[in-house]
Amino acid sequence: MKALGGGIGYGVLVEPRLIETTNVQIPVRDLPPALDGYRIALLSDIHYSFRGGRDFLRSIVRKTNALDADMVALPGDFIARKTRHLSRCFSILSDLRAPDGCWVTRGNHDYRVPLPDMHAACREAGFHFLENDHRTVRPARRRLQSRLNGASAGGESLVVAGVGDLWEGECAPGRALHGAPASKPTVLLSHNPHCAELLLDGQRVDAILSGHTHGGQVRPLGRQLAVFSDGSAKYVSGLVETPQTRVYISRGVGTSAFHFRWNCRPEIALIQLVPGK
pLDDT digits (tens, 9 = 90+) for 155-173: 589 999 999 999 999 999 9
d(CA 44, CA 41): 10
Classify residue 106 as exposed, middle or buried by CB count within 10 Å of its CB (0-12, 13-18, 19+): buried
Q: Which of 116, 113, 62 is nearest to 88 (CA)?
A: 113
Question: Which of 177, 170, 249 has the alpha carbon at shortest distance from 212?
Answer: 249
Which residue has better confidence, 276 or 149? 276
Q: Provide long-range contacts, Cβ within 8 A and 24+ apart, for 232-240.
A: 232/194, 235/193, 235/194, 235/196, 235/210, 237/213, 237/264, 239/24, 239/26, 240/193, 240/196
Instruction: Confirm if 75 and 191 have CB atoms less than 8 A apart.
Output: yes
pLDDT on residue 156 = 85
User: 226 and 190 in contact (C-beta within 8 Å)?
Assistant: no
Report whether pLDDT(130) > 90: yes
221 vs 239 pLDDT, higher one: 239
d(CA 116, CA 136): 24
Residue 190 or 143, more confident? 190
Which residue has better confidence, 233 or 127? 127
CATH no. of 2-275? 3.60.21.10
List the alpha helices (DSSP H) in the chain.
2-9, 53-66, 85-93, 115-125, 140-149, 173-177
* pLDDT tens digit sequence for 172-184: 999 999 999 999 9
pLDDT attached to residue 159: 98
Mean predicted confidence (pLDDT) in 191-206:
93
- Of the candidates 161, 133, 145, which has an alpha carbon nearest to the alpha carbon of residue 73? 161
Q: With a cut of 60, say whether residue 144 has pLDDT above it.
A: no
Structure confidence at residue 226 (pLDDT): 62
CB 161 within 8 A of CB 195: no
Q: Which residues pair with 23 in a beta bridge?
A: 270
Q: In Å, what is the CA distance from 214 to each residue of 47, 245, 250, 267?
A: 11, 21, 7, 9
Between CA 56 and CA 67 the distance in angstroms is 17
Average pLDDT rounded to a whole number, residues 194-220: 93
Q: What pLDDT shows up at residue 3?
A: 53
Give the residue among 45, 21, 194 at the shortest CA–CA distance from 109.
Answer: 45
Domain extent listing, the chain: 2-275
pTM: 0.92
> Which stretches does DSSP call E strand in 15-114?
20-28, 38-42, 71-74, 102-104
Cα(262)–Cα(240) distance, integer angstroms: 22
Phi (first) and psi of residue 121, to 5 degrees:
-65, -40
